[in-house]
Amino acid sequence: MMTVNETITLEDQIAKIAALIPQGYRLVTMTSVDCGEHFDIYYHFDRNYELHNLKLELPKGTALPSISSVCPCAFVIENEMQDLFGITISGMELDFCKHFILNEDAPEKPFCRVPGVAVSTVEVKGEQK
C-alpha cells in the first residue's frame, strides 16, 4: 500500500518539489492515474531507501507544469505521460511532442479510460475477482 505523504496543487507543485532536493531526496518516478474527470499524478521520491510520495489532482484539459527544471531526469517520465495519457506538460526541457515512445500511427492516449468501457471482473487462474 502506498502512503501519500503530501497533497500538492498546481500553484505549489514546483516549490514543494524543489524543496525536497536539498533535503537529499531524488526523483524515482511519476505515476499517472486516469480517474475519469481528472488525473491523479503521483511524484515518488526516495531518501535513504524510504519513499516520499506527493499527489496532485490534475483536471483533464489542464496543462501540468514540468518539473524538469528542478529534476532534469523527469523529461523521460513526462514525455511518457504525454504519449500514454495525452496530458500536456508545459515548460519541458526536452519535449518529444507526444512521439517519445509511440509511433505516428499508434493510437492516441492508449492508457486513458474509454468512456462507457469498464472492467467489472478479472479472471485469475480460473477464478473471478
**Is 1 part of a structural domain of the chain?**
no
> Apex CA 127: angle with CA 126 and CA 129, to 5°?
145
What pLDDT score was predicted for residue 126? 57
Per the structure, the complete domain to which residue 107 belongs is given by: 6-128
Ordered per-residue pLDDT tens for the chain, 129 residues: 788 999 999 999 999 999 999 999 999 999 999 998 999 999 999 999 999 999 999 999 999 999 999 999 999 999 999 999 999 999 998 888 888 988 888 888 888 876 655 544 445 565 555
Residue 70 sits in a domain whose CATH number is: 3.30.460.80
**Is 86 part of a structural domain of the chain?**
yes
Question: Would you state the cell numbers that stand for residue 11, as one nine-digit string?
Answer: 500553484
Number of domains forming the structure of the chain: 1
